[in-house]
Structures are given as C-alpha cells and as structure tokens.
C-alpha cells in the first residue's frame, strides 16, 4: 500500500525545506504509515533538541570565539595608547567595528534562519475588517509570531496554519500566533471561537487557552473560550488532547470537553449522551461541594451506555473512595475489564491496568468517530505514552 516511504524527506520536512504541496503529501503519508511515523517522531525529537541548543549555548560559544580575538584587539589598543590620539582612536574604531561585525554575523545568521522558517501565517479576510496587530485588513494579511488577530461583531477571518491546515476565526475572537516551526505550531485563543482542520502528524499544532492546552492529534475541532477563560472543545474527526499540568483529557471524534480556569480540563463525554448524564457530569467536574459531586455521580452512572466508558475511564482517577468503586463497578458491567485487570488494581490506580483497560475500550470509542484514520486509532495510545510524552515535557508551558 505504501510504495513510497518518506523517510528520506523527514529532515527536510522538519527544517521547513519542503514546498507546501510536498509538506502536505509528506504529512498524509506520515499519518497513514506507522513505520515512517515512528522515524519521524525520532527525528522531530532530535530537531527540537537541536533548535533549543543554539539559544542556550550561543553566548558561550560566541565568547569563546571572540575572546582571544578581542584580547588581541585590546592589546593593540593598549599599545596604541602610547602613540598619538589618532592612532588610539583608529584602534578603538577598529575594535568597535570588529565586535559589531561579529555580532552582526551572528544576528544575520539567526535572522536568515527565522526567515527560512517562514515565521508568519497567511490571513484571509472572510467578513468585515479583522485587525492584525494594529492594522485593519480589507483583503489578505500576514500574522507574524507575537501578533494578535482580532475580529469584531461583524468580521471573520481564516488563517493558514503553515502548510498543515487552516483555522476559521469567528466573530468577537482574539487569537495570537505564539510559535510556528516545522516541529511546533502554537496559537493562543484568548477569547471567542475557532474551528481547526489539521492534516499533520500528531502533536504539531497546539492551542493555548486560559484553562488548558489543546494538542492536535490529527483532527478537526471547534474550540470556544468565554470571557471568564472557560472553554468548550467539540471534536469532529480524529483526537484532541486537552492538557493542564498533570490533568489530561483525551477527546475523540463525536465527543466534547469543557475546561475551567481553576481546574483545567473537565471530563470528556460523547455529545449524544443522555442530557441528564451531561448535566450531572458538569457537577461532578466543577461543583465545589463534595456531597453534590457524589450525588451527581450516582445520577450519571445509572444513565451510562457502553460508549460512555470514555467518560467513566477518565473519572476513575478523578474521584476517590466509594465513588471510584462505584465507577469501577458500573464500567465492569458495561464493558468488563480484559484479563489481568483486577478491581483491586484499578481502585489503586495501577497505571498498567488502567492503560490495558483503556486499550480494550478504545476501539469501541474510536468506532463511533467518523473519518478517523484507522492507523491513528491503533497507534494513538502508543504514541501518547511513548515519544510524544517526552516531547510534551519539552514543550514550553
């Protein structure tokens, strides 16, 4: 099926050297081909490390090279001190010129690197006159790293996310481009609503919101942030991970997840669940009163269907005591745990057992999502628990 693997292009892709068409072809292959994807994750990790090295070590490196030369120049200046003031001035000027040249070389090198990586995204006006930075755009514009794009009640825009997808920006929305590199693209959604369609290997596109970070796992989704910093995520294809500190929610196609600034990601749920199930879950996630949370949990569990184990599995680690036991017992009836996974192990949150149970449920969860590339479904958790976890640790918070 995969006659032409793309392993030879991985380095070029990670350095932004492929054309848009080539990048798209590359990403499509990576999503479908486990072999190339594994190689890609390795190279991406290496490139990310390399990208961070120059920023940390450049000053030392610069000084190691410049110091002996500067020492020489200082000696020249000292000797010149005995000569006439013109000679001294000439030596000082030479020193300044020399140092400037060094600094200029370093900076121009860095600038070239930045330009080569195309540190801006194309913005298309859809309605009204959106603002990019301080400029109102009436047609097309560019959103550079650090710049805000803002729409009012009458304007909308569309952004090309490098060559890996696009994002629709609805009315009354404020977004900022935080980073764009072949190994990481990151937006900040401060307020309003955006819809993203991303065609790229997992964990390349991130959206920071006030209450969680949305990590794309090859997908399409809508993300909305209100004035209090709470957000709602709806996933229409693929998977999205919502993360804040140690709390993570994995949201497949057909599911949604709410987040609140004080708590981070809530628990994901399938959107076709019973209305009472969803209302009760909101209390379980966000009600400050423990008794109210327990009561809501009971109300939720009696309405759970087998596919709602998506919600229950996430809840296992989020509730404790008798509540956790109740969640386990309900899950065990809806979809019994695989061999080797015991009640005792799950109640003590044995990670291996939790993972094994999730793996056995995942096919059912994914089976309900439309248009999910099957290889992603099969390898998603492996990626999550493997290299991508290490990558995540390196992501700026």
Taking the C-alpha atoms of 225, 227, 229 and 230 in order, what is their torsion angle to the nearest 10 degrees?
Answer: -60
C-alpha–C-alpha distance, residues 49 and 52, integer Å? 5
C-alpha–C-alpha distance, residues 295 and 101, integer Å? 71
User: In whole angstroms, how close is the CB of 4 to Zn ion at the nearest point?
Assistant: 8
Site residues for Zn ion, 297-356, by CB under 5 A, read none
Tokens of 186: 């990151």
Site residues for Zn ion, 21-40, by CB under 5 A, read 33, 36
User: In whole angstroms, how close is the CB of 7 to Zn ion at the nearest point?
Assistant: 7
Site residues for Zn ion, 249-278, by CB under 5 A, read none
| Total interface residues for Zn ion by CB under 5 A | 4
User: In whole angstroms, how close is the CB of 26 to Zn ion at the nearest point?
Assistant: 10
Q: For the chain, give the number of residues.
A: 397
Contact between 213 and 199 under an 8 Å Cβ cutoff? The reply is no
User: In whole angstroms, how close is the CB of 39 to Zn ion at the nearest point?
Assistant: 8
Residue number with CB closer to Zn ion (10 or 273):
10
Work out whether 5 is an interface residue with Zn ion (CB under 5 A). Answer: yes
The one segment of 5-13, 134-142, 162-170, 355-363 that binds Zn ion by CB under 5 A: 5-13
- Stated as kind and residue range, the H or E segment containing 42 is helix 34-81
Residue corresponding to tokens 């990590």: 215
The one segment of 3-11, 127-135, 212-220, 322-330 that binds Zn ion by CB under 5 A: 3-11
Residue number with CB closer to Zn ion (9 or 362):
9
3-state helix, strand, coil in the chain (%, to 5): 50, 25, 25
User: In whole angstroms, how close is the CB of 34 to Zn ion at the nearest point?
Assistant: 8
User: In whole angstroms, how close is the CB of 5 to Zn ion at the nearest point?
Assistant: 3
Residue number with CB closer to Zn ion (36 or 341):
36
- Across-strand partners of 185? 180, 205
C-alpha–C-alpha distance, residues 169 and 293, integer Å? 36
Contact between 207 and 187 under an 8 Å Cβ cutoff? The reply is yes
Residue number with CB closer to Zn ion (38 or 274):
38
Residue number with CB closer to Zn ion (36 or 91):
36
The one segment of 4-12, 77-85, 287-295, 302-310 that binds Zn ion by CB under 5 A: 4-12
User: In whole angstroms, how close is the CB of 28 to Zn ion at the nearest point?
Assistant: 11
Residue number with CB closer to Zn ion (14 or 310):
14
Residue number with CB closer to Zn ion (32 or 263):
32
Alpha-carbon separation of residue 394 from 56, 181, 193, 233, 340 (angstroms)? 14, 15, 28, 24, 34
Residue 103: half-sphere exposure toward Cβ, Cα within 13 Å? 7
Residue ranges that bind Zn ion, judged by CB under 5 A: 2, 5, 33, 36
């Amino acid at each position: 099926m995969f006659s032409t693997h793309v392993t030879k292009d991985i380095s070029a892709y990670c350095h932004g050297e492929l054309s848009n068409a080539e990048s798209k072809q590359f990403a499509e292959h990576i999503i479908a081909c486990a072999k190339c994807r594994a190689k890609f994750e390795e190279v991406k990790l290496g490139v990310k490390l390399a990208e961070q090295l120059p920023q940390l070590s450049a000053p030392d490196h610069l000084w190691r090279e410049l110091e002996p030369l500067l020492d020489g120049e200082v000696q020249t200046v000292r000797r010149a001190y005995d000569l006439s003031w013109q000679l001294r001035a000439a030596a000082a000027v030479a020193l300044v010129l020399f140092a400037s040249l060094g600094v200029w070389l370093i900076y121009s090198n860095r600038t070239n690197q930045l330009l080569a990586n195309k540190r801006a995204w194309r913005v298309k006006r859809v309605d009204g006159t959106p603002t990019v930075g301080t400029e109102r755009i009436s047609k097309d514009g560019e959103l550079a790293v650090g710049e805000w794009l803002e729409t009012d009640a009458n304007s909308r825009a569309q952004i090309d996310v490098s060559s890996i997808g696009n994002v629709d920006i609805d009315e009354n929305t404020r977004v900022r481009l935080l980073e764009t590199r072949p190994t990481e693209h990151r937006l900040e959604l401060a307020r309003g609503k955006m819809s993203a369609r991303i065609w790229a290997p997992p964990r390349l596109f991130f959206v920071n919101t006030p209450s969680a970070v949305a990590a794309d796992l090859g997908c399409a989704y809508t993300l909305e942030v209100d004035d209090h910093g709470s957000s709602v995520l709806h996933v229409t294809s693929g998977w999205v991970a919502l993360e804040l500190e140690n709390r993570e929610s994995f949201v497949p196609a057909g599911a949604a997840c709410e987040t609140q600034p004080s708590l981070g990601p809530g628990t994901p749920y399938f959107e076709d669940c019973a209305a009472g199930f969803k209302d009760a879950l909101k209390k379980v996630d966000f009600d400050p009163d423990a008794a109210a949370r327990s009561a809501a949990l009971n109300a939720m569990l009696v309405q759970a269907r087998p596919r709602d184990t998506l919600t229950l599995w996430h809840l296992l680690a989020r509730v404790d005591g008798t509540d956790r036991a109740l969640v386990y017992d309900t899950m065990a009836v809806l979809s019994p745990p695989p061999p080797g996974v015991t009640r005792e192990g799950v109640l003590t949150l044995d990670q291996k057992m939790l993972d094994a149970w999730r793996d056995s449920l995942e096919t059912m969860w994914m089976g309900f999502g439309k248009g999910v590339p099957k290889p992603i479904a099969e390898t998603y958790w492996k990626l999550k628990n493997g290299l991508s976890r290490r990558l995540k640790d390196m992501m700026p918070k």
